[in-house]
Structure 1
């Protein structure tokens, strides 16, 4: 984890200290609220089950080798890891197998895929852009962070073909095809600048757009750095309960809906809706803040109609036990926003919060994290990771009254100490739910429910959760 910038799970440093008073002020045990599974014990709703599990394999089997995000191509799942990435063959979901593993440390190593190209985000300072680099310090002007590009035409032997340095590194990125230019655009999210960081200077109210020519990926380069927050965005501050909300110094996640020319930004202190008609110049349509309950705007998901956005609040950066009576049902939760109006008059209207209804142990890091739609025409259903809170499937067709319809979870990694773990990303792909567990590896889950049954017939050759496809007509 970084010390100089709060990134992902590294964000616990400041927040945990501020939340310590809250944790200490209550003697309420989550066990008193519901039955918490024992260490590594599996609990699930009747309509969900595990159909396969493949543990992390060497060299990615250490506690520090966190499993991260997932991208899908041609019935293969590509799972990022702080130490590289793993390609799984999921043609037989009940029997996934590893096709290849690439050792290339760089945290978080979030992934996306387009055709024969794989993109990898490096957000930890390294001595250089190679896969044999060593950890460095961001105060070193020669340190490297940014985007790596791999050719995966041979999935068993990925080839590293290009790298692009970006200001403040690349915490996450969002892939958007640009067929007119014959290229792929990567919208790079990064944040938390500081005066002593030569490659990450404040105010950093921007994103970096990297263009990768499909036929010549070795020519990848930064082609634009649009400033999104000329007024500085949310200045941050203290929420009513005493915890801190983040100032906006960039974005954490951007989710594009290319067929709607829309993009949603989860930008630390702000939730943003963008017009993406001019791909090199995203234009803000509306911008909202929640200075009561949200601490860190983390990610975003559109519904299929493009009339709603789900924003997540990663309170504590993924390192705190926030699924308990102390934090309640509105902190570390999802915020559901309807998109009202048309064109430039569109606005984000808050409707409700959603949080898993099961309390977790005080040793379990739990908060809203990555998920995707389950493609059911006429309904808005999402599958989502909650770290050690497990995988939740929930319906937000009625924006004001969301409800969980299924879940699957493991008990804590430990009942005596807090060990960072749980599901980082859970996505629906071609009939099954795939979960990347930070410590445990790959889980394949099934949901058997009348509300999700139509999704079984939806098939994708390629799927990136942050590049939302449209399904149905």
Structure 2
């Protein structure tokens, strides 16, 4: 382990742009994109590079798309500051928060920022520990880091090694952050098919970690099909070195080598075959979890965190290619699922792809107990069309805690950051946005906001290429959230902001 702004803003025209050059599924050339190539990715059918460049230049010149790196935002959003990437030059990934600190994942490791003054964040520590995608969470003195690339060993100095070799390692890494300026790597747990993402279910004595991974292969000794479940790790807080996998609940039981998840093509063309989960979000105060599992969305009970139980399962074989992530509303009577069409590298926010693919799917939760059902209500997608060179699709976001309303902020890669209201789950609407123009006017370069989360009065965005952004929204619809404070936030472990008995939130009077 090794320790190691922008120009002008103007209001975009909404819903007006040159038609983009088809669905691009190009992934990062310097490293993995947001997801390893997903089975549901459609074949690339875009125009030649010259055509893409010509359309992008025309869209910029006409004002339909901002210029390269130009910042635009709605009147109610302020771009407070930006910290460019420093020692860690890999792709920026997820975010977590604790007290005055933000923890930012990067494919090369992670960075800790002091955000006591959000207008002037400071870098506290940078830890070099390569292993995509370094999904990150914190709980007390422990920091958790996902490794989803086959490595020569579990150290931070490992090198890439084929997954077909039995000695290869991937899984969860655990750090001690009691000395915030000098994190210490203290434990590792190997998990089947690695750890693409993970979710914490914290208790007083233990932290349970739900590990999501996928894409098994008969040639991989530690990633065998059908792999239709998640790994559950138990981490004793006082002895994290004893962390171990305690269960692998099968979420999609079925006969045969392919298990019981969505079969994908040819049965469901353009849809991912389910071979595990991409992400799980838990709402501990309600003993609920929602899983975004490639070709399926699931709702499950986590009263016994070691033995989660599936309540309901849904598919969308028309518009969803890859179920990517999930967000509950505060009352736990809705779930927003995201579809990562194109694997995170496609230009899918355009007129050609349309408003329903690469979007959010909003589901109401109806019924009680084990009879609860997920009922589809509508799609939400940003209507600011992006250039043919911009990767854009629904990605990670969080609730903005406004009592009585369902409002969230969400990353859309080079589509930027969207603040939107889904209180009426059949009629979602955007209420604010921030974005940059394309990274390139000539070629498809992957970048943009990976995660955009609300924490204690500000919005923090980890841009894959541009670094750490701080935003602030001033709007009567979101202003009540400024009084809500929490001491720790891992977005996939959703707090109950308005139930003081659980100790999640508090109010500034």
Taking structure 2 as the reference length, the TM-score comes to 0.87
Does the Cα contact within 8 Å between 1:127 and 1:133 map onto a contact in 2? Answer: yes
Counterpart of 2:201? 176
Q: Equivalents in 2 of 1:80, 1:288: separation in Å?
A: 31
1:402 matched to 2:431: no
TM-aligned CA distance change 1:459 to 1:122, over 3 Å: same
Measure how far apart 1:326 and its partner are.
Answer: 1.1
> For 2:131, what is the secondary structure of its paired residue?
coil
1:52 matched to 2:81: yes
1:154 matched to 2:183: no
Q: Equivalents in 2 of 1:136, 1:413: separation in Å?
A: 32
The alignment of Structure 1 onto Structure 2 pairs a total of residues equal to 463
Which residue, 100, 117, 120 being the options, matches 2:125? 100
Does the Cα contact within 8 Å between 2:33 and 2:446 map onto a contact in 1? Answer: no
> For 2:41, what is the secondary structure of its paired residue?
helix
- Identify unmatched segments of 5+ residues in structure 1: none
Q: Equivalents in 2 of 1:96, 1:136: separation in Å?
A: 37
Counterpart of 2:219? 196
TM-aligned CA distance change 1:189 to 1:221, over 3 Å: same
- Identify unmatched segments of 5+ residues in structure 2: 1-26, 255-259, 500-509
Measure how far apart 1:96 and its partner are.
Answer: 0.3
1:91 matched to 2:116: yes
Counterpart of 1:237? 265
Q: Equivalents in 2 of 1:246, 1:275: separation in Å?
A: 24
Counterpart of 2:382? 356
TM-aligned CA distance change 1:20 to 1:35, over 3 Å: closer
Which residue, 131, 135, 139 being the options, matches 2:160? 135
TM-aligned CA distance change 1:37 to 1:25, over 3 Å: closer
Q: Equivalents in 2 of 1:11, 1:22: separation in Å?
A: 21
User: For the aligned residues, what is the CA RMSD?
Assistant: 2.3
Runs of at least 4 residues off by over 6 Å? 21-30
Q: Equivalents in 2 of 1:45, 1:280: separation in Å?
A: 44
1:444 matched to 2:470: yes
> For 1:31, what is the secondary structure of its paired residue?
helix
Measure how far apart 1:2 and its partner are.
Answer: 11
> For 1:57, what is the secondary structure of its paired residue?
coil
Does the Cα contact within 8 Å between 1:22 and 1:326 map onto a contact in 2? Answer: no
Taking structure 1 as the reference length, the TM-score comes to 0.94
Range with bigger deviation, 206-215 or 31-40: 31-40
Does the Cα contact within 8 Å between 1:177 and 1:183 map onto a contact in 2? Answer: yes
Cα offsets for 1:245-267 (capped at 9, x unmatched): 10110000000000000000000
1:35 matched to 2:60: no
TM-aligned CA distance change 1:24 to 1:417, over 3 Å: closer
Counterpart of 1:208? 231
Does the Cα contact within 8 Å between 1:175 and 1:186 map onto a contact in 2? Answer: yes
Does the Cα contact within 8 Å between 1:391 and 1:423 map onto a contact in 2? Answer: yes
Does the Cα contact within 8 Å between 1:31 and 1:359 map onto a contact in 2? Answer: no
TM-aligned CA distance change 1:122 to 1:381, over 3 Å: same
Counterpart of 1:115? 140
Cα offsets for 1:69-100 (capped at 9, x unmatched): 00001110000000000000000000001000
Q: Equivalents in 2 of 1:279, 1:145: separation in Å?
A: 23
Matches within 5 A, 1:281-296: 281-296=307-322
1:163 matched to 2:188: yes
1:257 matched to 2:290: no
Counterpart of 1:217? 240
Q: Equivalents in 2 of 1:18, 1:190: separation in Å?
A: 25
